[in-house]
């Protein structure tokens, strides 16, 4: 792989890691802001999926739908398809924090804890695949 692509993927992973750590710290510190915390978990997973694509020299559209990004990753490694439920769950938080979408309920602590678990599982998957 080209060194520039490796450096670029590392930057994606660094940003994703920081977003994940920020969300974890916020979850511990605050007894509120659960939709925003869920959004940060969604963002962390997004950065890792995009970083995986960059690591593998693949382009991706400017999207935030984790399930679509997951499908692109699955073209490289089919194991990614096992995480479809996780990405579908996390993707909703891109919408509910940013837009007044009535079809989605507001996230509470339960959803934030679930989002943390799912984001962590996606991050671990990507880390294992780039070893």
The predicted pLDDT at position 3 comes to 46
Contacts of 20 (CB under 8 A, 6+ apart): 40, 41, 44, 119, 120, 123
The predicted pLDDT at position 33 comes to 93
Ranges 42-51, 70-79, 94-103: which has the least confidence: 94-103
- What single DSSP character describes residue 99? S
**CATH code assigned to 3-129:** 1.20.120.330
The per-residue pLDDT of the chain, averaged, comes to 91
The predicted pLDDT at position 6 comes to 73
92-122 tens-digit pLDDT: 998 777 777 666 667 899 999 999 999 999 9
The predicted pLDDT at position 96 comes to 73
Question: Is the model's pLDDT at 1 over the cut of 60?
Answer: no
Which sequence spans correspond to the domains of the chain?
3-129
- What single DSSP character describes residue 104? S
Give the Cα separation of 58 and 72 in Å (integer): 9
Report the pLDDT averaged over residues 18-23: 98
- Residue 101, classified by CB atoms within 10 Å of its CB into exposed (0-12), middle (13-18) or buried (19+), is exposed
């Amino acid at each position: 792989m080209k060194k520039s692509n490796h450096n670029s993927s590392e930057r994606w992973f660094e940003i994703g890691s920081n977003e994940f750590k920020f969300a974890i710290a916020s979850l511990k510190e605050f007894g509120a802001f659960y939709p925003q915390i869920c959004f940060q978990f969604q963002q962390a997973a997004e950065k890792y999926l995009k970083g995986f694509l960059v690591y593998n020299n693949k382009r991706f559209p400017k999207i935030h739908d984790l399930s679509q990004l997951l499908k692109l990753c699955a073209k490289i490694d089919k194991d990614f398809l096992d995480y479809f439920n996780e990405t579908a769950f996390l993707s909703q938080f891109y919408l509910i924090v940013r837009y007044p979408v009535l079809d989605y309920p507001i996230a509470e602590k339960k959803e934030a804890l679930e989002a943390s678990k799912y984001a962590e599982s996606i991050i671990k998957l990507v880390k294992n695949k780039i070893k």
